Structure 1
């Protein structure tokens, strides 16, 4: 963040390490909880968090998105949507996983599926 930027919204919408799932055990515990919301292209696995905020992890398999450019785009889109909706999301640990090939899918379709999953997440 630059020294001239003092907008409090910019600070609160960052994707800080506190909002990320990083460790293998964190991912394993979410997958073991076995609750998920399914969309056309994604599955959103979730479990109630011990922390006071929502946290996100993203999994994009090479099998479903062969090119690194596409995998990185999907991850960026997921993080961006999470950053903008984090304040209204319930306190869950979540893993967003690509579940269908995304080779010929438009960005608008992916964004729509992401938004639908986060809206259907139980409170």
Structure 2
């Protein structure tokens, strides 16, 4: 994908550097769900940026971690958040190595949690702007 449209995920919309992650992590978590913790910090850019942390100890299979990242990026793209640095961190185990890597039920549950996180951030920003 090229261009800087709302629905892309160009490098400028990603948090990639360790110090950028650290500066957001220093703040308290903004929100928590059953599996995720969301950290946010206002930024001075014209757009929101996203970082995703999916640790192997909470999702031992790469397929599961990649699914989490894919769903998170997709929802981030379509939500249209205000200028924030957002880090979504997987904070609880989602499955085991012996179980199935992903199921439609797991995907639906993770998607609904992430939708709630991003929708709440968008609503909070809308309420803050007069």
Shorter-chain TM-score: which interval? Answer: 0.7 to 0.9
Q: CA deviation at 1:96?
A: 0.3
**1:1-123 equivalences in 2 (<5 Å):** 1=1, 11-86=5-80, 89-103=81-95, 106-121=106-121, 122-123=124-125
Q: Which has the higher contact order (CA 8 A, sep 6+)?
A: 1
| Structure 1 runs of 4+ with >6 Å offset | none
Unaligned runs of 5+ in 2: 100-104, 126-130
Backbone CA RMSD of aligned residues: 2.0
Unaligned runs of 5+ in 1: 3-7
Deviates more, 1:98-107 or 1:51-60: 98-107
Aligned length: 115
- TM-score, scaled to structure 1: 0.85
- TM-score, scaled to structure 2: 0.81
Q: CA deviation at 1:12?
A: 3.5
Q: How far apart are the structure 2 equivalents of 1:82 and 1:27?
A: 17
Contact 1:35/1:47, CA 8 A, preserved across alignment: no
